[in-house]
Amino acid sequence: MADNPDRSVLVIGGGTSGNALTVLLRRAGIAVDLVEAGPDWKASAGAGITLQGNALRVLREVGILDAVERDGYAADGVALLAPDGTVLHAHDELRTGGDDLPSHIGMQRPRLQQLLIDQVRDSGADVRLGTTATAFRQDDEGVEVTFSDGTDRRYDLVAGADGLGSTTRTMIGVTDIPEPTGMGIWRAPAPRPAGVTRTEMIYGGRCFIAGYCPTSEDTVYTYLVERSRDRGSLDPDTYADEMRSLAEAYGGAWTELRSAFTDPKAVNYACFDRHLVEGPWHRGRIVLVGDSAHACPPTFAQGAAMSLEDAQVLAELLTGLDGWDSVSLDRALTAYHARRLPRVRMVVDASVQLGQWLLDGVRDADVPGLMFRTMTALRELP
């Protein structure tokens, strides 16, 4: 690629959206620095992830789809089970990425993160770990950024991809903050039982949802969704015991899976949040990407997909500009928000609605209709 020395971007955050954006911008020859607050780029990579077709569509553009298909587990179809493990219903899923892509691929999240890291490294981006941005000073021609290591650098654009608790969002004066939905989730990896070849979920029993998704030939990603707890009252040393206790209410593959919950450090507990910045996602030459602008419960498995789509749309708009003067950039960033907001709002609202029906015990909710309408809309390009 031919570098364009006249265009430089700082990406803050080395997660899914930040890594994808970095790769896509570098492919266009734009100079990119990426800073990540964690000293270990993989420290918070998580247990597992379900990548829907529209996420795979972006990962194909990022250049890692072949590796995702190789290292993950593609399974067309989902089954709904009774608490004892009896199959109640099985169905094919809509292919939101198009008919040439699987409906979803389950994957170990650390492996996905490593594939993205490798792409960032290969792109030639300047990466600094254990580093944060501490101050911004903007003018019509750029942004001067001060970093936690005491250095200063100047950029044409800053992209804040620093997650749900984004400091970039706070620093530019966006006041929207995540709101809890009332649900919490236990997650852990486990060896894949031989008979588990698709995503399977149980609605009911001790938890609202008990599910698992194959993430490789040898592993699955398991999750148990319940009413949220006060995390301050939970002892991390008991996480494996808590998850194993909840899993005892379920039969079928859970009989084998729960025996794998022995290491509390391998179990993660998190609360569901709803987050959506309705107003502009940029202030001058600083723009929000991914979870810093929006996040939703994983009831549709669309969180990563929405963040990846952000990166793709923003990169498309930026690389299509003839010039990066303040007027042109403002128009591009305004267009980015206009394209993304309706689609993201649809996913956030639908994801929250599914959870709220469970919290309220609504038995006649139109879950199939809501899922079909949402997933059908996601087949359209972002």
Report the percent of the chain where pLDDT is more than 90: 94
Cite the beta strand spans of 44-108 per DSSP E.
48-52, 73-74, 78-81, 87-91, 104-108
User: Is the per-residue pLDDT at 46 higher than 80?
Assistant: no
- Rounded distance, CA 299 to CA 131, Å? 33
Cα separation, 117 vs 113, in Å, equals: 6
pLDDT score at 242: 97
pTM: 0.96
Q: What local confidence, expressed as pLDDT, does residue 78 receive?
A: 93
Average pLDDT over residues 303-322: 97
What domains can be seen in the chain, in order of their start residue?
4-72+107-178+274-378 (3.50.50.60), 181-272 (3.30.9.30)
Q: Give per-residue pLDDT as tens, 210-225.
A: 999 999 999 999 999 9
Judged against a pLDDT cut of 60, whether residue 352 lies above it is answered with yes
Helix/strand/coil for 352? helix
pLDDT in tens, 144-185: 999 999 999 999 999 999 999 999 999 999 999 999 999 999
User: Could you give the 3-state DSSP secondary structure of residue 248?
Assistant: coil
Dist. CA 378–CA 382, nearest whole Å: 8
Dump pLDDT digits (tens) for 253-278: 999 999 999 999 999 999 999 999 99
Query: Of 292, 269, 308, 337, nearest to 178 (Cα)?
Result: 292
Question: 85-89, 123-127, 230-234, 269-273: which range is least confident on average?
Answer: 230-234
Contact 214, 75 (CB under 8 A): yes
Residue that wins the pLDDT comparison between 1 and 186: 186
Tally of residues, the chain: 382
What does residue 191 show for φ and ψ, rounded to 5 degrees?
Answer: -60, 145
The 10s digit of each residue's pLDDT in 62-100 is 999 999 999 999 986 899 999 999 999 999 999 999 999
Pairwise CA distance, residues 267 & 257, whole Å: 13
Helix 326-360 crosses helix 303-319 at what angle (to 10 degrees)?
170
How confident is the model at residue 1, as a pLDDT? 45
